[in-house]
A and B are shown apart, each in its own frame.
Chain A
């Protein structure tokens, strides 16, 4: 069973704000899911390779060349989506 403190800690790592009420609900829901997936514990997989990619493709390389320029129009649209900006830069709160 996952503890309330663990839920809070993990939510903090994930940068997800949750209320105290939700901590309890998440504890219950995550507990149920983690119980369900326990069935994998007993499987012998010592000699099994993990699959991260199903069609077996490995790193896909291409020449490092400009294929198309990001148009001024796309740049404008991307910047329009930024909530806070200054002089054409994305603005954030101070980190330090």
Chain B
């Protein structure tokens, strides 16, 4: 298929073109919609699009630019939103049949912040049902395909957003990350994705999965773009009491790679990792070392327990958060049967998919009398140990670099029969949300045409240093 210029534009490039009136937001938006109509039947990045409201937003941006107004970087730029964040005028399905006809009654805070900047919202992207999955194969509406190879998954749960950015079906996108749902698809699709520090971005209007882990974050083609989006969506929101104002980052004396200490945890490089992936990640690290960065082997001894901790804490929170889908207040309602209990049982049987029900049942079991101490409480204690490992490591290093995933994108259907093997694809990404730290994935090469992701983790609320190191590496790679 012929590639359109609009497919490849970054936010910065598109903004420059809009400002210089080389292109209008209307042309940009229509160009992207052309790409969507050409490709999305096959890729299925979007669950819904709204051309009319997108073009109305584009017209408004064009008017402001035409009037000579100084507009923000995101004004008139087309964006895709994962379909678990509320946006007025759209349904919000969360990839589930139970919310198939659920119309968003208000805007999520992140959506409101984008709109205030004049963003053009194109549509809502596909995801694993309620963000539970690592491939988008759990979506009730069908899987998204990886634009690099349509026989492979785009990763998940934010697979639609990652694939849309990679395929040029938007300029940038928002996703959410609970155990790796931004970074793993970013890695599989060859784009940049950030999971911010817990609390950095308001979760108001994000359909809750596991509330102590969920964070919203951006996908884009470059590190700089990701930083621009993050700066717009971050900050305290009265409607999310866990959100915090990020202190104005002290402008450190000019960033120099030779001042940066990079930790490489030995536990991330043993067993199970594809040697070709490891080679590329090691090369990225040694390239940074050649430029003057200090590389230090570190140990995160409890990191090997992260997946177990995750698969106890997450389903526990899931089982509580999903109790609200009861067929009474909104969403699907199965009203046959004689009593209220029948309504609950049947609505949830029919409306929720296998993986979601599996996690709700697992979480209920883990929290039930007699098992709480052995499972949930123990997991919370080990969570402390994992967090302590990172605290100790960050006394010595500024960032930690690892692979994002142990392999490149796997094939559709490869892991659907065995939940545990699917869970294992998150092994390198789960630690960051358990500790609450920010982490970014960016491309560092390809193996047999499939992208490989480099993960850069940083200190709590120190996204800035991650961006600096990531940008430095991006420039290095582009000029190589």
Contact = CB atoms under 8 A, between A and B. Distances in A.
A43 B378 contact: yes
B133 to A, nearest CB: 14
Contact of B420 (A32, A54, A60, A77): A32
Contacts of A22: 354
Interface stretch (B216-224, B271-279, B340-348): B340-348
Interface string A26-40: 100110110011011
Counting contact residues on chain B (CB < 8 A from A), the size range is 35 or more
Given A36-B420, A81-B105, A55 B199 contact: yes
Contacts of A12: 345
Contacts of B292: none
A49 B384 contact: yes
B360 to A, nearest CB: 5
A84 B333 contact: yes
A77 B88 CA distance: 10
Interface string B97-125: 00000110110000000000000000000
Given A17-B346, A83-B327, A55 B358 contact: no
Contacts of A45: 378, 381-382, 385
B374 A41 contact: yes
A77 B105 contact: yes
A55 to B, nearest CB: 5
Counting contact residues on chain A (CB < 8 A from B), the size range is 35 or more
A30 B381 contact: no
A72 interface: no
A90 B357 contact: no
B468 interface: no
Given A16-B361, A83-B328, A93-B339, A55 B384 contact: no
Nearest to A76: B105
A10 B311 CA distance: 17
25 contacts: A11-B357, A11-B364, A13-B368, A14-B319, A15-B326, A16-B349, A18-B361, A29-B358, A33-B420, A37-B375, A43-B381, A50-B381, A51-B381, A52-B380, A54-B212, A54-B387, A55-B244, A55-B436, A57-B242, A67-B238, A77-B103, A78-B105, A83-B332, A92-B343, A93-B342
Interface of A: 2, 6-7, 10-18, 22, 26, 29-30, 32-33, 36-37, 39-41, 43, 45, 48-55, 57, 60, 62, 67, 74, 77-78, 80-84, 90, 92-95
